Amino acid sequence: MLYNHVTYPLSENDLKMVVAIPEGGNWKNIPLNVPSKRLEQIRRTGGRTTLYGRLSWNKPSYTITTYFNRPGNGAYIHPKDDRVISAREAARLQSFPDDYIFYGSKTSLCKQIGNAVPPLLAYFIAKQIKKYTNTKNVLDLFCGSGGLSKGFEWAGYKIIVANDNFKSACETYKNNHKNTVLIEGDITKKDIKEKLYESIKNKKIDIIVGGPPCQGFSYAGKRLVDDPRNFLFKEFVEIVRKIKPKVILVENVEGILTSNNGKTFNSVKESFSNLGYKIEGKKMFAVKFGVPQKRKRVVIIGVLRGDPRACYPQEVIINENKYISVKDAIENLPSIKVNGGENTLKKEIKSKSLYQEFIAGKISPKKYETILFKNP
């Protein structure tokens, strides 16, 4: 069955804009007679070409953010239909398989999907870490809806415990990771941390992964962990200190490498170096790992022994003409109307691409990877 294939409502004015934008087009294609204060501002000052963007069938999508429910927030208009992409289409562009069901309100689906690490990118990273280190058990902090966990599971890891404080994401996580103990709640609270440690018990945690927020990348003569706005990052560091896993993985926005002339990243390195970890940070492009999306994120890896640089996987696809496209990802999904209800299908959808075979669970991540490497 196909779940979450639900789109988002558009106002009459938004629909006028959407109808005017051709495949691959943007706000520049919207007629001047369509009234919009925001458009007036964009025209005066200039704006990103992704604003009010319609996706192209034969290219990867731009980054799927938490705002894919609004046409003016990025390139989220369906290549053919006059609507924004559905939650399931966004999930496919993020590389979530079709049997990964998201729970909660329609608005919460945007946050869950947009904030997630693409599972396929996580798989390639996890597979390389597994190859280089003798690791098996994972603790996933700030797990969200479970993109990192899914990728690590595909690579053969066991997710022992996970934690998050977003109720809808926790419901999604629990239903898709039934063998993992999920501790729902604020990790800064003593009772939640105690539950976390109690759930781990005598199980050895080899890797701690997560995306702790570093608010504003503030750096005013103090270390990152000393800025009160970065209290969640501080909690992550403290848990690493207590558990002392062989490997740590921190996922964050690309700006963390260059913020404050590199001082922010140096502070991150210092926080973990003081615990004995060798640290490396690298910008990674999801599209170069078989994901149909131009998503850029920074992955920071730390190891107690060895070289963290060896934990980064080789890029699968280096020729832009070979990138997995929007068409490869969502073409076989049924057309839906802009203000229609959820479209749950009870019959098989025929796959039209290798990627759709993978998303449907007809081929494994390993098989998908093998075919990609054979056809660079």
- Whether residue 110 lies in the annotated active site: no
CA atoms of 242 and 47, how far apart (whole Å): 47
**Token pair recorded at residue 319:** 């020729």
**Token pair recorded at residue 186:** 């604020």
By residue count, the chain amounts to 376
Whether the CB-CB separation of 212 and 236 falls below 8 Å is answered with yes
* Sheet arrangement for strand 278-285: 181-184, 158-164, 137-141, 207-210, 247-252, 296-303, 278-285
Whether the CB-CB separation of 372 and 44 falls below 8 Å is answered with no
Residue 60: which residues within 8 A CB-CB, separation 6 or more? Answer: 287, 291, 292, 293, 294, 323, 324, 325, 326
Q: Which of 110, 143, 170, 214 is catalytic?
A: 214
Active-site residue set = 214
